[in-house]
Amino acid sequence: MFDLKNKLENIKNNNLLRNFYEFSSPQNKNITLNDKNFLLFSSNNYLGFCTDSELKISSIETINKFGVGSGGSRLTTGTTTLHRECENLISKFKNKEDSILYSSGYLCNVGSISSLFYEDFVIFSDELNHSSIISGIKLTKSKCVIYKHSDINDLTKKIKENSSIEKKIIITDGVFSMDGDICKLNDLMEICYKFNCYLYIDDAHSTGVLGKTGAGTCEHFNISDEKIILMGTGSKALGCVGGFISSNSLIIDYLKNTSKTFIFSTSQTPENAKTLSNAIIKCTEYESQRDYLKKLSVYLRNSLRDIGYSVIDGITPIIPLILKDEKLCLIFQKELMNKNIFLTPIRPPSVPKNTSRLRITLCCNHTYEDINYLIDCLKSLYLKYEKQIKGEIL
C-alpha cells in the first residue's frame, strides 16, 4: 500500500542507501568494527570526553546514587537537583540569565523554535542551517525567508524586503555542521541593531571548540548581548547527550510552559545531567587542547590543498572533503576502510545535491602521526581518482 519497497530501491539506485555501523568499542580515535580495528575520523567527540576516565567514574557514582532513569518528564517527576545544578552551570558558562535542558539537541531546536516564534514573526534562516532548525521553523506559523549561506548582503536585502514585519529573528548555526565554517557574528550583530532583529545561534558544534573556555561562538567573538538566544548540546565536544537553550529568564520560563518537546519528553537521566555538568567544568580547563585541535585542523586543511583537493578555509575540527558524486564518496569510503580508516560519506538529504562529501572530524586525541597517515592515504586516492574528482570522468 505504501510502495516503500520501490521507494527504498530508488534510494539504493541513487547511492543514497544508509545502514548502521555497529561499533564494538568505546567512541575514541581507535574503534573496532566487525572485529577489525580502525582509526576514526568521523566522530563529534572533539575533546575526547566520551571516554574520559574522570567523567566515567562520576557517571557510575551518580547511577549508584540516583539510578539509571529519570522516571518522568521535567514537569512531573523528572527533575532532580542535578538537573537544576546543570542548568545553572550552563547559564554561567554561556553568560546568560537562565537555561533549560532538553533530552536531545534535535528536540531542543524543534521545540524551542516552534514555541518561541509565531505568526507575527519573520524568520531569516541561513540556507545551510541544521535539519533540526528547518524542522522547527516548519512547525511555526511564521514567514520564513532563506538567505544565501553566510551572505550578509543577501540577508540585508531580504530584511529590507520584509521591513513591514516588526518582529524579526535571524537563525544561524554557530559552526556549520557539514562545512565547518563559523558564522559571521560581528556582521550579524550589526544587522540586528540596524534592523531591530533578534539572533538565535545553534552552538552545537561551537560549544567546547570555540572560545578560551570553550563557551562557543559568542566567546570566540567576545560578544555578549541580550538579543542573542543560544542553543547548545552535550552530545558533541562535551561527550554525553542532550540539548539546552540559554537566554533570559522570561524566555526560559515561557519554554517551560509551552515547548512541547520539553513538556512531553522524559527528562535527561540524572547521570547525564551530572556528567554534562562535570564535562562543562572540565571543558573550561581545556584551552591548550583546543589550541592543539585548531593547529591539527589547519595543518590537515593545508595538506589536503597541497595534494589538490578543494578545501574550505577554517579553524574548526570539521573538514569537508567535497567529492560531489555519491558513488565516488562510497568508493573512497571502501578504499579507506581497506587501509583501516573509518570515514563516513555524507550524502543528500544531509547535504545539498552535488555536494556529497567525506566529512572529516578531528579530536584532540589524534596525533600528527594519525593525521599524516590519513594524508598519505588521501594522497594515493587523489592520484588514483583525480579525473573523477575533477569531474572529467563520471
Share of the chain above pLDDT 70, in %: 99
Task: Write down the pLDDT at residue 394.
Answer: 61
Task: Write down the pLDDT at residue 213.
Answer: 98
By DSSP bridging, strand 356-361 and strand 167-173 are unpaired
Task: Render pLDDT for 21-39 as a digit per residue (tens, 0 to 9).
Answer: 999 999 999 999 999 999 9
pTM for the full predicted model: 0.96
Which CATH architecture best describes the domain 4-40+287-388?
Answer: Alpha-Beta Complex (3.90)
Task: Write down the pLDDT at residue 221.
Answer: 98
Task: Write down the pLDDT at residue 72.
Answer: 97
Which CATH architecture best describes the domain 70-283?
Answer: 3-Layer(aba) Sandwich (3.40)
Task: Render pLDDT for 368-387 as a digit per residue (tens, 0 to 9).
Answer: 999 999 999 999 999 999 99
Spans of all domains in the chain:
4-40+287-388, 70-283
Give the mean model confidence (pLDDT) for residues 341-356. Answer: 93
Task: Render pLDDT for 307-333 as a digit per residue (tens, 0 to 9).
Answer: 999 999 999 999 999 999 999 999 999
pLDDT band at residue 391 using 50, 70 and 90 as cut-offs: confident
From residue 101, give the alpha-carbon distance in Å to each of 106, 150, 175, 244, 290: 12, 28, 21, 4, 25
Give the mean model confidence (pLDDT) for residues 256-268. Answer: 97
Task: Tell me the pLDDT of the chain averaged across its residues.
Answer: 96
The CA distance from 17 to 15, in Å, is: 6
Q: What's CA 218's distance to the chain center, in Å?
A: 16
Q: Give the dihedral sign, CA 153/144/243/178.
A: negative
pLDDT band at residue 392 using 50, 70 and 90 as cut-offs: confident
Q: Which long-range contacts (CB under 8 A, 24 or more apart) does 233-236 make?
A: 233/104, 233/105, 233/108, 233/203, 233/204, 233/207, 234/272, 234/275, 234/276, 234/279, 235/44, 235/104, 235/105, 235/204, 236/44, 236/45, 236/46, 236/204, 236/205, 236/207, 236/208, 236/209
Task: Render pLDDT for 123-157 as a digit per residue (tens, 0 to 9).
Answer: 999 999 999 999 999 999 999 999 999 999 999 99
Task: Write down the pLDDT at residue 144.
Answer: 97
C-alpha cell at 258: 509551552
Give the mean model confidence (pLDDT) for residues 63-86. Answer: 97
562543562: which residue's cell? 280
Task: Render pLDDT for 77-119 as a digit per residue (tens, 0 to 9).
Answer: 999 999 999 999 999 999 999 999 999 999 999 999 999 999 9
Say if CB 316 and CB 362 are below 8 A apart: no
Task: Render pLDDT for 195-244 as a digit per residue (tens, 0 to 9).
Answer: 999 999 999 999 999 999 999 999 999 999 999 999 999 999 999 999 99
Say if CB 91 and CB 100 are below 8 A apart: no
Task: Write down the pLDDT at residue 1.
Answer: 61
